[in-house]
Structure 1
């Protein structure tokens, strides 16, 4: 019945002078059905429907379309498709797909923030989502340091377009840095915490104590005046300054504000409608630590990375850019003084390797970005899945063993799914 009605919808869509290039349907345990239609014509129409079934049987529908010419027949046909699903959803008593994962999370919930959302996906489908406590898939939470992963993707888009090189000197875009003996810092140094700019050891409290600036331009100009503690590339010092410098360079090259660029180039193409870098107090955005997002949004970003830069048929990043992101840049043996959340990890370009090699230039098989806010996004290329754990509130510093224990549980569950790995 569902299949037959879906074919009717395809025929209706073809009337709008376009060709259906992809249909993505996700059916979740908490009674949410999400359908993404990508229709290709000269104006790239994207239609998205999201229907949530509540225990009280109420239905909430929302529609976003680029064109207003989509007629009522489209909606009617969609409802025909969903007709047999209403009763199926309400009666669903299917057991959890990952009981072992839930059993592993429950005793750790207090350490993980209490209220948290978990998503798991393969390359094209969300295969599991679970709300623990007072959260849902629209609960927005701070991404903390994992914000850097979004910013790195934005920088790599400009690299793909030939507008920036990772080995460009920052003085090419920010001449003031040359006046303060920082001529040798490159964009790559900025994304690997090796600028050599002096910074206090990073602590949980730093996230809340950072100075507020009116603009990213003002903030990055202020960094130029800070003393150099080591030659660029010689020493590792985890902090957010390099990420913010790289983000400011993107602003200079494109002549657009960082928030606008992130929305236009990353969030909107990925359908991350509940993600933003806008600050609550109107101060400058913080590309290193300032994103707010949902688990439902973050998993889309991770699927794009897992698919070598492709999401819903659209190339967000080049395969070469993702390969660059996976390369080990700094061995763990050089990363002295890092938070225990990063213990045993190795620095890649703007993110971290879980299963990599001590050899610089080697490709990591799994990437992660732990955050002091408690978010834990991870992509496992060798097994073909992505995972994100997003707490509702700030949890503070966590030992990496807590998260790695969860990954081990999930890896066991994922065994045998050969079609997901590439």
Structure 2
């Protein structure tokens, strides 16, 4: 009887399919194996989804400088400015509900911005100010055309005034916007594209005021939970912190060192004292892949419709055509415009990309990248964890990664 039972178990085990290895694109492997070699990044995770099917899902190298912990596909990264697209989706949900309008004056919901002034000359100690002619709107926040001081030639004095408010030390988003509202604008709203974090922090405060709940709660209930983004948040639970990738930067001797940040020394703690919609999230490649695929699918995830298809389409259109900018392109490249929460590719050849016109995406300060190509039905995500800076730093490989993906799938 026992022999028959063992035989039956043996047949059942033989009938089970062998574990399927995650799919790989050899050309992408070659690039990232080299990039995470002895003189490169500590490690990487890459995820590619083509027409709803995962075609590449791989980890490379190590999570740590000591090379004790191999990188895993579910390793957790600080995604910094890739948070901005998430915050933009949150605001657009409220637009769809009629609680916000893209052309609403921000002061309608945040009275501290009701008497905006524009810097008209002078110095930080004796500034010359004039009342703003244009109202600051929600659209300006989403497209980085609000006019807040964010550096640049000719804006040194007003940038100094901004720095005096010590925004990164704000206790919460309400404190952040209160401090920011004390600073004059550098330019009239809608007349200058200047990428920065202040606009999206104000947008995040708008979300919690209009929704009537903390910003992080809104994200959890309306985005992370529906999309099963279990490893995405402003703080990593203590039990999961061993999965957080170490944050490196280039040392003075040309070697990688741990970045001088509290959250680098204590991986998993909050990146800011407040819930930063501009750059505060941790996430995995898989979590962000579901978020990006939802956008590619016109706001749908399974049976859930998080955003209307028309809203997502507007996110991926160049919104700078609706401003008073002399030319509707970003400060970074004439090949890119900007939508609602990310860059829109206008001229792939000029940008050195093989993507389609209209490809949408953004990156994070610590070398994380995502791109959505609606024309090709494709999502590409690359997660590294390195803060660039200084001479002879590691090469930026985001564009090379995207192009390898396209070349592998569209030879």
TM-score, normalization by structure 1: 0.68
Pick the aligned partner of 2:41 from 102, 110, 113: 113
Question: How many Å separate the matches in 1 of 2:331 and 2:40?
Answer: 23
In the aligned structure 2, how far is the partner of 1:400 from the partner of 1:304?
Answer: 31
Deviations 1:328-360 (A, max 9, x none): 02379565754xxx6743211110113469xxx
Query: Residue 93 of structure 2 corresponds to which residue in structure 1?
Result: 157
Q: Is the 8 A contact 2:150 2:196 kept in 1?
A: yes
Report the Cα offset of residue 217 of structure 1. Answer: 0.7
Match of 1:133 in 2: 61
- Write out aligned runs for 1:270-419 (5 A): 270-278=227-235, 280=270, 283-330=273-320, 338=332, 344-355=335-346, 365-395=358-388, 402-415=397-410
**1:145 counterpart (70, 75, 81):** 81
SS of the residue 1:296 aligns to: helix
CA distance in 2, matches of 1:115, 1:290: 21
8 A Cα contact 1:187 1:246, kept in partner: yes
**TM-superposition CA deviations, 1:73-108 (whole Å, max 9, x none):** xxxxxxxxx96686611xx6x796410111123333
Distance (whole Å) between structure 1 residues aligned to residue 309 and residue 286 of structure 2: 24
Where relative contact order (Cα < 8 A, 6+ residues apart) is larger, the structure is 2
> Given that residues 270 and 280 in structure 2 are in contact (C-alpha distance below 8 angstroms), is that contact kept between their aligned partners in structure 1?
no
For the 8 Å contact 1:123–1:303, the answer to whether it is kept is: no
Asked if the contact 1:113–1:395 (Cα under 8 Å) also holds between the matched residues in 2, the reply is: no
1:12-411 equivalence runs, <5 A: 88-89=18-19, 97-109=24-36, 113-134=41-62, 135-181=71-117, 184-201=135-152, 211-278=168-235, 280=270, 283-330=273-320, 338=332, 344-355=335-346, 365-395=358-388, 402-411=397-406
CA distance in 2, matches of 1:239, 1:84: 57
CA deviation after TM superposition for structure 1 residue 166, in Å: 0.7
Flag the 1:83–1:159 CA change in 2: closer, same or farther, 3 A.
farther
Q: CA 1:281/1:404 → structure 2, altered by over 3 Å: closer, same or farther?
A: closer
The answer as to whether partners of 1:374 and 1:396 remain within 8 angstroms in 2 is no
Contact 1:347 1:353 in 2 (8 A): yes
Structure-2 change in CA distance of 1:282 and 1:348 (3 Å): closer
Structure 1 counterpart SS, 2:114: helix
- Provide the rounded CA distance (Å) in 2 between the counterparts of 1:222 and 1:85: 65
Residue 200 of structure 1 and its aligned partner are, at CA, apart by 2.2
Q: Secondary structure at the match of 1:88?
A: coil
- Where has structure 1 moved over 4 Å in runs of 4 or more? 82-87, 331-337, 395-401
Provide the aligned C-alpha RMSD in A: 3.2
Q: CA deviation at 1:320?
A: 1.2
Any gaps of 5 or more consecutive residues in structure 2? 1-11, 63-70, 118-131, 154-162, 236-268, 349-355
Preserved contact between residue 373 and residue 394 of structure 1 (Cα < 8 Å):
yes
Query: Where in structure 1 are there 5+ consecutive unaligned residues?
Result: 1-81, 358-362, 417-422
1:20 is matched with which residue? none
Check whether the contact 2:328–2:337 (CA below 8 A) recurs between aligned residues.
Answer: no
Look up the SS of the partner of 1:349 in the other structure: coil
* Aligned-partner Cα distance in 2 for 1:101–1:281: 31
Question: Is the 2:51–2:378 contact (alpha carbons within 8 Å) kept by the matching residues of 1?
Answer: yes
Task: Return closer, same or farther for 1:230/1:396 CA change in 2, 3 Å cut-off.
Answer: same
Output the CA distance in 2 between the equivalents of 1:95 and 1:267: 24
